[in-house]
Amino acid sequence: MIHFYDLPQNRNRVSFDSNFKEYLINKLVNKKIDYKIIRRLRRNNVNIKTVIEISRVLNLNLDNLEKKIIWIGALNSKGLSKPKLPLNLNNRQGARFIAAIVNDGCLTNNRKDSYGRLMYDNFDKTIRTSIINDYLYIFGGKEEEVSFRDYDKKKFLEFPSVIRDFVFLILKNKGPKSESNLDIPSFIKSSKENILGWIEQTIADEGNVNYNLNKYRREIVWRRSLDVSDLFSKPINKDTPFKKLPKNLRKLLYIKKCKLIEDEKSILNFLGIKYKLHNIGIYKTVKENIRTRWQISITKRENLVKLRKLINIPSLEKDNKFTNICNEFSRYKEPLIIKEKIINLGKNRKIFTSIDLKIAMNYSSVTNTYKWLKKFKEEGLIKKIKESSYGNGYYKKPAKYELI
């Protein structure tokens, strides 16, 4: 729970309804206290520091006063009307909202504005709508109190400054997440509902739902970047593949953990969702910072179907594609197609290899062909006539097969 009195007290102000305000004023008049406090209370809003002082003078419980607040925000700001105080983010909506800010949002650290701004940047209207709905569920208020900035290269939501202050209490950090190396807030890791909210929002913001029937490619992936400039004393080429880096640097990149990735590995393990983790190299930013990029990949039919039962992606396009992956999975058609390709190879070429099958199936690598060649060998469709071997010690010659 986050209370109004947890916020910066001089910067944020609150309003009470007129009847309750008059009640407080009458109580203060009877106490014959400093008239300055009464004068402040007569205004449209009063800063939190003054409210705390009033509660002390009148011996009123702050939590009871909190229930009477009808508006909270900074001076001359839209603020938050009919706030749901105290705030409770310990739910799926709260987890999604915080995930959105960590993923595609920004709690800026602008020198001109020492407090920064809270924004969420995404071109997908369905995701922005979902964020607004979560915002209203958690904070209260009205949709029009969130500003929408519509530019050719950016389409982002900008939240009232008081929401920025609430979020800062949770994240305790400003600026790019890749530099601050944020971890997942502890309240999100405390319940399955919150974890699911984090995962579904992360896929919406940072992920891709890949579905290519021709290449038998069905997967969900998302990536995280981490600033590793401090590990590089010498200049590097842009977009250097991970395997091309010196061995000592590769080791250092593995030692310097991305906290978000480590937390996401833990919560996927908790959910029983299998995944693969890859480091896909380093790159330079416009400001010449060096970052490494990690990718989580979730594949396999049973695994994807299990995840489908747990989450709904707050992106209409991605969620529909995810549904299609699970509903139209042609796992049982694939052996029939491959069997036909193998028969054709046997008839047309007589002798064939895993490379020939890879080309026939339009696979990205020969790895996918090994299990099928083994399967149909065991079923008696084909036989291996020559084992794989290394030619001159430099390259591997694939095994050769023919129809029985």
Confidence of residue 64 (pLDDT cuts 50, 70, 90): very high
pLDDT value of residue 111: 45
pLDDT band at 395 (very low <50, low <70, confident <90, very high): low
Pick the more confident residue, 302 or 157.
157
Closest Cα to residue 20, out of 63, 66, 53, 56? 66
Nearest to 261 by CA among 276, 241, 244, 243: 276
Nearest to 120 by CA among 171, 157, 81: 157
CB 292 within 8 A of CB 236: no
With the CA atoms of 316, 318, 320 and 324 taken in that order, what torsion angle do they form, in degrees rounded to the nearest 10? 180
Bridge partners for 403 per DSSP: 382
The tokens of 248 are what?
Answer: 């000592």
Contact indicator for 61, 160 with CB cutoff of 8 Å: no
What element of type H or E holds 391? strand 389-391
Q: Average the pLDDT over 254-268 and give the result.
A: 90
Q: Say yes or no: domain 334-403 is CATH 1.10.10.
A: yes
148 has a pLDDT exceeding 70? yes
C-beta of residue 174 within 8 angstroms of C-beta of residue 111: no
pLDDT digits (tens, 9 = 90+) for 350-373: 899 999 999 998 888 888 898 899
Give the whole-angstrom CA distance, residue 237 versus residue 282: 9
Q: What is the pLDDT of residue 283?
A: 80
Contact 202, 122 (CB under 8 A): no
Reply yes or no on whether the pLDDT at 305 is more than 70.
yes
Which numeric CATH code is attached to 204-327? 3.10.28
Lowest mean pLDDT among 141-155, 167-181, 346-360, 374-388: 167-181
What is the structure's pLDDT at 166?
A: 94
CB 138 within 8 A of CB 97: yes
Q: What is the pLDDT of residue 379?
A: 85
**Per-residue model confidence as pLDDT tens digits over 308-327:** 999 999 999 999 999 988 88
Query: What is the Cα–Cα distance from 273 to 294, expressed in whole angstroms?
Result: 18
3-class DSSP state of 146: coil
